[in-house]
Amino acid sequence: MTKIKAVIFDMDGVLIDAREWHYEALNRALGLFGMQMSRYDHVVTYDGLPTSVKLSMLSRERGLPEKLHPLLNDLKQQYTMELVHSRCKPTFQHQYALARLRREGYRLALCSNSIARTVETMMDRADLRRYLEFHLSNQDVTRAKPDPEMYQVAISRLAIAPGEALVVEDNENGIKSALSAGAHVLSVAGVEDVTYSAVIGKIRELEGQHA
């Protein structure tokens, strides 16, 4: 019998509508060197991957010189931070969902392919950090999603069985990571789908109860 004890959230596209910010920031940095990425490529191929992985893919596929990676990476993070400071704000729907899940005894954590500073700034600005027991960034693991490492580390830190975790994810790389770690997955199309009733509905479905 399934019993869910913890809910682990992805960040981008789940709790923070940051896909567009990452796209804008990366393109602004690439634009300085005369390169652009289409919105289609970003959504279909690159979404949810760390910047370093996106840059390696651009070097392989489009000949971006590797020696530009450190500079592009720094610029991209700086531009992301500017967008976060101007656009990232608390949303009632997410504060309510996390607060109520927590009050009902669920343990909450976050696993993001972003760097630690981005995760911390976004969680602070969205006022969600206080509901989370901990968060993991791509700097806490050796292999980012789609590798299962990040969810495996989170599950062992929670000291629960993989089948007791429900992961909320919005893209293929994250879903693959969570399923390979043995967790259950609630797949969402975007931040607007992440509500208390969607999460509790999935938990009841998994636990075989019908509300």
Binding site for Mg ion (CB under 5 A): 10, 12-13, 48, 170
Q: How far is the CB of 112 from Mg ion (least distance, A)?
A: 8
> Based on CB atoms, which residue is closest to Mg ion, 35 or 198?
198
Q: How far is the CB of 135 from Mg ion (least distance, A)?
A: 14
At 47, which amino acid appears? D
Q: How far is the CB of 141 from Mg ion (least distance, A)?
A: 16
Closest residue to Mg ion in the complex (CB): 13
> Based on CB atoms, which residue is closest to Mg ion, 7 or 68?
7
> Based on CB atoms, which residue is closest to Mg ion, 16 or 29?
16
> Based on CB atoms, which residue is closest to Mg ion, 6 or 111?
111
Q: How far is the CB of 201 from Mg ion (least distance, A)?
A: 20
> Based on CB atoms, which residue is closest to Mg ion, 64 or 144?
144
> Based on CB atoms, which residue is closest to Mg ion, 114 or 152?
114
Q: How far is the CB of 12 from Mg ion (least distance, A)?
A: 4
At 181, which amino acid appears? A
Instruction: Please tell me the distance from the alpha carbon of residue 168 to that of residue 9, in angstroms, as a whole number.
Output: 5
Q: How far is the CB of 158 from Mg ion (least distance, A)?
A: 20
At 145, which amino acid appears? K
